[in-house]
A = this chain, B = another copy of it.
Amino acid sequence: MSVTTPKGFAAAGIAAGIKQNGGPDLALVLNKGPRRAAAGVFTANRVKAAPVLWSEQVVRGGEIAAVVLNSGGANACTGPRGFQDTHATAEKAAEVLSALATGEGPDDVGAGQVAVASTGLIGVTLPMDRLLSGIGKAAAELSEHGGEKAALAIKTTDTVHKTAVATGPGGAWTVGGMAKGAGMLAPGLATMLVVLTTDADVESADLDRALRAATRTTFDRVDSDGCMSTNDTVLLLASGASGTVPAYEPFAEAVREVCADLARQLIGDAEGASKDIRIEVVGAASEDDAVEVGRSIARNNLLKCAIHGEDPNWGRVLSAIGTTGAAFEPDRLNVAINDVWVCRNGSFGEDRDLVDMRFREVRVTADLAAGDESAVIWTNDLTADYVHENSAYSS
């Protein structure tokens, strides 16, 4: 049920001493081939962490042999030193993994085939001695059953580790994945590190196409707190070990399914949240309009507080819609909360006392009455616990 479910992958997760609490903080994922095809999607933030800048270059090369991921430090805003540290991490992994070569798959690993992903506090350099010796230790523990341990090692404020899997027709191939992310979750991805693997035999160009299509409607529509990270990374690695070349559509659907599953898990574990809010915008003139309106609603702190208080405050939905440039007429807007249409034609509708908001999942439906397009955005409520988690200590 993770990155080692597809054939051709090994993984490990260990405690390298990067985190001060001594917990697992270093993960390694190895693609044993025969293929090393890969694709990646990264944060849209213009302030990018060193590992993002590095891994973008690796993906451009079209092959990923291994991924090194660490929690305990984002290596963002760390200047030239930070980039050197990421480079040294990739060099070390290449050296260690090449020494392990068995002759079974592609043997040598070049530093340019090692992607790096980091998560944790911005503006702090990593303890490189511990990280580099940790890579040796992790390589020694690489296992075809190591996926869960790897998923555990990338957690930061996550309360649970996140993994998912989808299987192709007849079980001919699988897509597996792991994710971390609990705060700074916003579009252009969230603060998330995600590694997806597949044993399907797919070329990098098709991996890229499938991954972009999948993230566009899953991770990109998770907007927990409106804050876009410097480190977001989603990688998709194909080993080809199943020996099956899949048709594009079912493969892309499996990738989307794993991304959607992981995205939903991210929302379910968002910092301090007590409600998962599914915002569906319907009746939009365009999908872009639907997404713009959904994001505006998702980012309205007053609405997020109201939902925390189980108050179906549809006026805050309307005032959020009103700040967008989407096509709509104010007096034609309709809003449902948990399927009760509390706002009709821009004014009060059904009795708000009919809305039952006791459950964790809350559904907000905004009908723009301007067309046939729609989109779903996920967010969370805003709680005192969120404030506490993000004010009581640096993260």
A binding-site residues for B, Cβ under 8 Å: 44-48, 74, 76-79, 81-82, 121-124, 183-184, 188, 225-230, 299-302, 305-306, 308-309, 311, 313-316, 318-324, 328, 330-331, 333, 343, 345-348, 382-384, 386-394
**Assuming A77-B343, A311-B394, A314-B123, is B46 touching A322 (CB within 8 A)?**
yes
* Closest chain B residue to A382, Cβ basis: B387
Q: How many copies does the complex hold?
A: 2
User: Is A305 in contact with B184, judged by CB distance below 8 angstroms?
Assistant: no
User: Is A330 in contact with B79, judged by CB distance below 8 angstroms?
Assistant: no
User: Is A391 in contact with B184, judged by CB distance below 8 angstroms?
Assistant: no
Q: Which of A44, A318, A345 has the most CB of B within 10 A?
A: A318
Known A-B contacts: A79-B331, A301-B390. Give 6 more (CB < 8 A): A46-B323, A78-B348, A81-B347, A122-B316, A230-B319, A301-B382
* Closest chain B residue to A183, Cβ basis: B302
Q: How far is the CA of A393 from the CA of B313 in the complex (A)?
A: 10
B-side contacts of A309, CB under 8 Å? 390-393
B-side contacts of A44, CB under 8 Å? 323
B-side contacts of A331, CB under 8 Å? 79
B-side contacts of A82, CB under 8 Å? 347
* Closest chain B residue to A347, Cβ basis: B79
**Assuming A306-B394, A390-B305, A392-B309, is B45 touching A323 (CB within 8 A)?**
yes
Nearest Cβ in chain B — how far from A373, in angstroms?
19
User: Is A394 in contact with B77, judged by CB distance below 8 angstroms?
Assistant: no
* Closest chain B residue to A348, Cβ basis: B123
B-side contacts of A306, CB under 8 Å? 390-391, 394
Q: How far is the CA of A81 from the CA of B331 in the complex (A)?
A: 12
Residue from B46, B184, B330 in contact with A330 in the complex, judged by beta carbons closer than 8 Å: B46
User: Is A311 in contact with B393, judged by CB distance below 8 angstroms?
Assistant: yes
B-side contacts of A391, CB under 8 Å? 305-306, 308-309, 311, 382-383
The 4 closest A-B pairs by CB, nearest first: A122-B315, A47-B322, A309-B391, A79-B347
Q: Could you list 17 examples of A-B contacts with CB < 8 Å?
A: A46-B321, A46-B323, A79-B345, A82-B347, A122-B318, A122-B319, A123-B348, A124-B348, A227-B301, A305-B386, A308-B387, A309-B390, A311-B391, A384-B384, A384-B387, A386-B387, A387-B387
